[in-house]
Structure 1
Amino acid sequence: MRVGMHALAQSFGNLLVESFHYLALFAIGGITAWASVVAFLGMLEKGHVTVDDILLLFIYLELGAMVGIYFKTNHMPVRFLIYVAITALTRLLISDVSHHHRPDMGVVYVSGAILLLAVAILVVRFASSRFPSVQPSARGGRDGDES
């Protein structure tokens, strides 16, 4: 009896966690889509598009792709987070240089951060190819995963 109640409680808890998980993913995906539409309409309203605007749309695209991959594979693609960070820093760099017209040490710091993130992508890709995470699939086989 006790084991049955424990199994039922665990099953119900897993259902609640999974439901919250999917609800949160839908919310994040919806907010990302809404923000990208608002940004796009703002670009149309301005009548011209800047490099900053295009990079902002790339950030939204990468966030949407990350949510989509998470829905399909149930794994967080770490590389996409790093891509978002690189794109955001590139956007900051271009915006800073184009608006202030005076490169200083801040440009070097941001460029160094971009280089560091690019190296992090290499490390993540090497680690995922060298040490793939293997999880059993629903059919009893084993599937590899690339981060």
Structure 2
Amino acid sequence: MQLQEFNWLHNKVKQLADEVGSLLIEVFHYLALFVIGASIVWSAVIAYVAMIHHGHATIGDILLLFIYLELGAMVGIYFKTNAMPVRCLIFIAITALSRFLIADIQIHHQADKEILLISAAILLLAIATRIMPKPPSDNG
């Protein structure tokens, strides 16, 4: 009879530990998403204030704001679905490469191999978004 009581106690302790562990993971998940989201907003505000201070916004500045917007959307999607939106990461990479490409052209004013490589990378990422299976929520 004691073995049965021990097994019952063991199962109850394990169940309680699992529930506490799940709660801690969920709290960490929400806390981490909040910190990431707040950091994105903070960075976007600082970038915007710098644009105001300069008196104008360049195309690179505007693309940077789009990167912040896409990062915020990615956090929102992850918050709602608990699924990593890989497509958002690819869109962010495309925007970042486009921003880099525009900045490089503005500085050097000449075509070189680097422009071709960045353009090829953007093309590969765009193709990747087309061949990736869509999440169920996007099929409608």
Task: Give the TM-score taking structure 1 as reference length.
Answer: 0.85
| Larger CA Rg, structure 1 vs 2 | 2
Structure 1 residue ranges without an equivalent (≥5): 133-143
* Higher strand fraction (1 or 2): 1
- Partners in 1 of 2:127 and 2:14 — Cα distance? 46
Deviation (angstroms), 1:67:
0.6
Runs of 4+ in 1 over 6 A off after TM superposition: none
CA RMSD between the two structures: 1.4
Deviations 1:110-132 (A, max 9, x none): 000000000110112xx23xxx5
SS at structure 1 position matched to 2:56: coil
Deviation (angstroms), 1:145:
4.3
Deviations 1:94-139 (A, max 9, x none): 0001111121000000000000000110112xx23xxx5xxxxxxx
- Partners in 2 of 1:70 and 1:6 — Cα distance? 29
- Partners in 2 of 1:146 and 1:4 — Cα distance? 42
Structure 2 residue ranges without an equivalent (≥5): 1-8
Deviation (angstroms), 1:74:
1.5
SS at structure 2 position matched to 1:48: coil
Q: What is the number of residues matched between the two proteins?
A: 131
* Higher helix fraction (1 or 2): 2
Within the alignment, does 1:44 sit opposite 2:52 as a pair?
A: yes
Which residue does 1:29 correspond to in 2?
37
Task: Give the TM-score taking structure 2 as reference length.
Answer: 0.89
- Aligned amino acid, residue 15 of structure 2: A
Identity %: 54
Which residue does 2:24 correspond to in 1?
16
